[in-house]
Amino acid sequence: MELSAFIEKVRRRESLAGHDLTGVDPFAMDLGGIDLKGADLSREHVPVAAGGTYWPSSSDSARRMRRRVRLRGADLGGANLDRILGEFGDLRGAHLRDASLVEADLRHADLTLADLSGADLTGANLQGAMMAGAKWDDMTRWPEEFTP
């Protein structure tokens, strides 16, 4: 999706369900409450500058410079969020049913009241994540050695 089309859809609070958002920086804007079912928001590299400079997701510089994920109440059912850098992110009440969050950095993220039923959190970093009232089921896959 072109950046201008993405910005216009977000401004109008229109659905982004099923869209490939890997070429834009969806975390530069507040996507709370927007329908993102089945969207691909996965990250191989994290945009950190408006000029199009990208840093590898493992870069300490990217970790310091990244923007805070704002997905409060967003419908992310079945979405691909692999490797997102969501440290200190706001995912309160987000619908993450059947979403893929493989190797996502969710340290200190607020997952209060989030629906994690069937979500794949394999290899995710949930250190310090707030999960009060979050829902999950037997199909939810957790990082090794993590007990919800």
Q: How far apart are CA 23 and CA 129, in angstroms?
A: 27
Query: Per-residue DSSP letters for 36-47?
Result: -TT-B---SEEE
Q: Does residue 148 carry a pLDDT above 60?
A: yes
Model pLDDT, residue 114: 97
What is the rounded average pLDDT for all residues in the chain? 81
Note the pTM of the prediction, 2 decimals. 0.75
SS (H, E, C) 82-146: CCCECCCCECCCCECCCCECCCCECCCCECCCCECCCCECCCCECCCCECCCCECCCCCECCCCC
Question: In 12-58, which ranges are continuous DSSP H helix?
Answer: none
Condensed to tens digits (0 to 9), the pLDDT of residues 35-82 reads: 989 988 887 543 333 333 333 444 443 444 445 678 889 999 999 989
pLDDT of 65: 42
**pLDDT computed for residue 67 by the predictor:** 53
Alpha-carbon distance 113 to 78, whole Å?
18
- Mean pLDDT, range 124-144, rounded to an integer: 95
At 26 the pLDDT is 63
Give the rounded percent of residues in the chain with a pLDDT score beyond 70.
Answer: 80
Nearest to 121 by CA among 104, 135, 136: 104
pLDDT in tens, 99-118: 999 999 899 999 999 999 99
pLDDT at residue 129 in the model? 94
